[in-house]
Amino acid sequence: MKLHTLFLLLFLSLLLILGVACSADPQQPPINDDQPENKNDPSPDEDTTPPADDDKKEPDGSGSDSDTATTRPTTVPNPYADVDIAALPDGPQDRIAADESGFHIDMPTQTKYTGDELEIELNDPCYGGAQYVGKLFTEGLGRGPGANEYLYYTFHLESDGCTVETLSKITEQFFSSKAFLSLKLAPEYEVMAVYRAVLSRDPTLAETNDYFARVTEEKAAGIAVSLTKTEEFANMLPDIVRGDYYWGANNTEYSPSGIILTTNDFVKMLSKSQKSGVLELEPGTLVLLSRGATVPKNVTVTTKGNPTHYTQQARILRTETFGARQLTCNEGSTISHLWIDGNRSAFSPEELPGGNGAACVGLVKDKASCIGCRVNGSIAGTHIFGADAIRGLHIANNLVTCYESDHYSKISDGITVASTGCMIENNTVIDATDVGIILFRFISPGYEEPQNSVVRNNTILNLGNSAFAGLDIDAWNKQDAKQNFVGTLFENNALWTSYKAHQHICLSLATLAWHNVIGDEAIGSTMINNYTPDGLHVNCAVVFAGDGCYDLIARGNHINAYIGPWGRSEVSPLLRERISSLNPQTASGDVQGEYEELTTWIPWQPIVYAHSAPPLESFTLKGAIFHENRVTAQEVGHPN
C-alpha cells in the first residue's frame, strides 16, 4: 500500500473516531468536511421549533439539564493517540467561505447555557500547555495553528498531562512533521525556529554554533527534544502549566545572513529608495533600531524573495525605548514580509511607554499597507496602529504575537485602527492582552464621515495571555457627539481560547464597557458570521454585549463558550457574567436570539475592569452557546 494511501485511511479513521469520542461534547458546530460530524443534529423526536416571542426566557441557565458541576477527568480518551501528525491536514486555519451554503443549515437560533459545567484549576496539568502549542506553530512554522492541528496537540496534553515527558513527545512529533520538514529551513534559520519554539528565547551565539555542529546527525527534532530535557525547560514547566510564560532574551548579535545594519545604515537605505520606490533587504538581515524609521511616500520595503517564514525575513529589532514607532509608513507606502520585533522583554516594565506612539508599526498616511509581516513584542499599547484621520489602509496576512505583554500590567492590542475605509483581513493575532482587533471612531469635521472599515477572515486566539475582548469598537474619547460607525463590519473571524486564558467580552459592540461616562456613544456597527471552530470554545464573562451603540447588528455568529467570572469573587449584580446582553438605555439594534437587558458599566466601574484581577486558583465555568445560521450582510441590512 502506498504511503499516502495509508495516511488517507488513517485520517478517515480518525474522523470516524472523533465523531464518536467527541459526541458527548455539547453544542459544537460543524466547520467543514474535515471536521467531526455535527453533534447538534436533533433526534427525530426533538422539537426544534423556536419559541414564540412571548415564550422566550432570559438565558439565565434555568433551562440547563444539570446544575451539578463536573470535573473533566485527568485522563481523557485521545482519538489522536495512534495517528501520526503527518496524516492530518497541514495549512492555515480552515476558513468558512462566506458563500458556503452547507454551513448551519436548519439549525435553530440558540442563546443558552448547555448544562455543562467545568471545574478548572490553574495548576492542573490536564489543561496546561496551550501557549506552548501556540509557540510551536508561531515560532516553529511561522504561522498560527489550524483548528485540527491545535486539537491534535492539546488532546495529547489533556490525555497525558502537561509534563516534561508529554511536552517532549509532542515537540518531537512537531519537528518531525511534514509541516515543519517541508519548510526546508537552512540551519542558520532553523536554529532560531527551534530555540524560540521550545525555550521562548533566541539562541546565544554559542548555542547557534553547537546547533550547526549537531544538526546533521541529530536533526531539528532531536535537538528540540534535547532542549526539553534541560534544567532551563524544567524550570519553565510550572508557568507552562498555569498558562502564560511570556518571553526570554533576544540576541542582538546573531543574524542568519551575517548582515547586521545600524539605524543609520537603514535610514540611508530608506532615503535612497525614494528613487526606485523599492527597498529589498537580504533574507536574514538584522537591523538594530535605536530610533524610529520612516518609510517614504510610495515606497515598498520588503525582504528579497518575499519569504513567509519570519526567520528568513529581515528583522527590525528595537534596541532602545525611544518614544516613536519602529516603522512609520507614509502615504502609499508598504511594508511587507518583514519581521518587526519590539523586543519588549529587554526592558523593565517601568521603561515601557504604553499608548500607541511607540507601536511596532504605524500607518499614518492614506493608503499605507502592512502585508505578510511578523510583528511581536511591542513596548506600546498596540502592535500595528492605523492613525487618526487616515483613509484606505490595508493590513493583511500578518502574524501578530503578544506573548511578551501582560494582561494585568501594560496591556497591548494586536491591531488598533482609528482610520476609515480600511481592510483588515487574514491576520492571526495570538495572546493580545487588551483587544485582539479594535476599531476606534474616525475623526472628521462634525463627525459625519463614518468609521466604515472591514475586519474579516482573521483569527484571534488567547492561549496563555487573557484579553479584555476578542473584537471591539471604541468611541473614545469624549467629544459630546455620537460617533459614526455606520458601515463598520466584523465578518467571518475565528476566535478561541485555551481553558486557562479568557476574553472578558468575546464580541463587543459595547464601547461603554471600557470608558463609561467619560467617552461617547456610537451609531452603527455590524458583527456577522464570527465563529469558534468545531471542538473549540471561548472562555469569557460575556459572549456578546451591546452598550453605547445604536442601530447595531449582531447576527449569524456561532460561538461556543465557557462563561465564568474572571478575577474577583464579587462584582455588582449589574456587571455579572452573561451570554448576550443589550443595554436598552444606551443601545439598540438587531441581535440574534435572546439577550438580557443589562448594562456593562456602572459609574467608574466598567465590566472589563470588574473582571480584570488575576484569576482565582480554581473556578467553575458554565458551557454556553451563541448560535445562529449564517447570514449575508445584505439580508441583515448592513450598508454596502
Tell me, what CATH number does 139's domain have?
Answer: 1.10.3130.20
Cβ contacts of residue 217 below 8 Å, gap of 6+? none
- Examine the pLDDT at 45 and tell me if it is beyond 90: no
**pTM summary value:** 0.86
Domain boundary among 9, 29, 44: 44
Please tell me the distance from the alpha carbon of residue 603 to that of residue 594, in angstroms, as a whole number. 26
Q: How many domains does the chain have?
A: 4
Q: What is the pLDDT of residue 543?
A: 98
Measured in whole angstroms, the distance separating CA 4 from the mean position of its chain's CA atoms is: 33
**Considering the domain boundaries, does residue 449 fall inside one?**
no
All three cell numbers of 322, joined, read 525611544
- Region 546-561: mean pLDDT is 96
Residues 586-602, mean pLDDT to the nearest whole number: 95
Are both 532 and 632 inside the same structural domain?
yes
The C-alpha atoms of residue 231 and residue 162 are separated, in whole angstroms, by 16
Mean pLDDT, the chain, integer:
84
Predicted pLDDT of residue 612: 72
Q: For residue 539, is it within any domain?
A: yes
pLDDT of residue 304: 98
User: Pick from 328, 325, 334: which is nearest to 298 by CA?
Assistant: 334
Residues near 521 by beta carbon (within 8 Å), at least 6 away in sequence: 475, 482, 483, 511, 512, 548, 549, 550, 586
Q: Assess whether pLDDT exceeds 80 at residue 23.
A: no
Cell digits of residue 548: 453605547
Residues 187 and 334 reside in one and the same domain: no
Judgement on whether residues 199 and 115 belong to the same structural domain of the protein = no
Residue 156 forms part of a structural domain: yes
Which amino acid belongs to residue 446?
A: G
Label the pairing between strands 428-430 and 467-474: unpaired
Instruction: Tell me if the bond preceding 452 is cis, omega within 30° of 0.
Output: no
Cis check: omega of the bond before 477, within 30 degrees of 0: yes
Does 117 share its domain with 131?
no
CA distance 636 to 626: 17
Q: Are residues 337 and 380 in the same domain?
A: yes
Domain boundary residue, one of 9, 26, 44: 44
Q: Are 3 and 86 in contact (CB under 8 A)?
A: no
The reply to whether 293 falls in a domain is: yes
Residues 313 and 358 in one domain: yes
**Which set of grid coordinates corresponds to residue 326?**
519602529
**157 and 193 housed in the same domain:** yes
Q: Are residues 562 and 639 in the same domain?
A: yes
The residue with greater pLDDT, 469 or 85, is 469
Residues 525, 634 within the same domain: yes
- Per the structure block, which three cell numbers stand in for 531? 465563529
Q: Are residues 383 and 488 in the same domain?
A: no
CA dihedral 364, 366, 370, 375 (to 10 degrees): 20
Whether residue 257 lies inside any domain: the answer is no
Distances (CA, A) of 35 to 8, 19, 533: 15, 9, 9
CA angle 121, 123, 127 (to 5 degrees): 70
Distance CA 570, CA 174 (A): 43
- Contact 202/249 with Cβ under 8 angstroms? yes
CA 244 – CA 611 distance, rounded (Å): 18
- For 283-319, the pLDDT digits (tens) are 999 999 999 999 999 999 999 999 999 999 999 999 9
By mean pLDDT, which of 14-23, 46-55, 292-301, 406-415 is the weakest?
46-55
Q: Are residues 595 and 612 in the same domain?
A: yes
* Structural domain of 571: 107-122+431-442+461-640
Identity of the residue numbered 148: N
> Is residue 229 included in any domain, yes or no?
yes
- pLDDT tens-digit readout, 384-397: 999 999 999 999 99
DSSP character for 140?
I
- Domain identity same for 168 and 303: no
Distance, in Å, from the CA atom of 189 to the CA atom of 142, rounded to the nearest integer, reads 12
Q: How confident is the model at residue 113 (pLDDT cuts 50, 70, 90)?
A: very high
Query: Does residue 255 lie in a domain region?
Result: no
Domain assignment present for 313: yes
- What is the mean predicted confidence (pLDDT) over 485-490? 96
Angle at 440 between CA 514 and CA 428, to 5 degrees: 95
Q: Alpha-carbon distance 377 to 321, whole Å?
A: 12
C-alpha triplet 128, 130, 136: angle, nearest 5°: 130
Q: Kindly give the pairing relationship between strand 503-509 and strand 467-474.
A: parallel
Helix or strand (DSSP H, E) at 425: strand 423-425
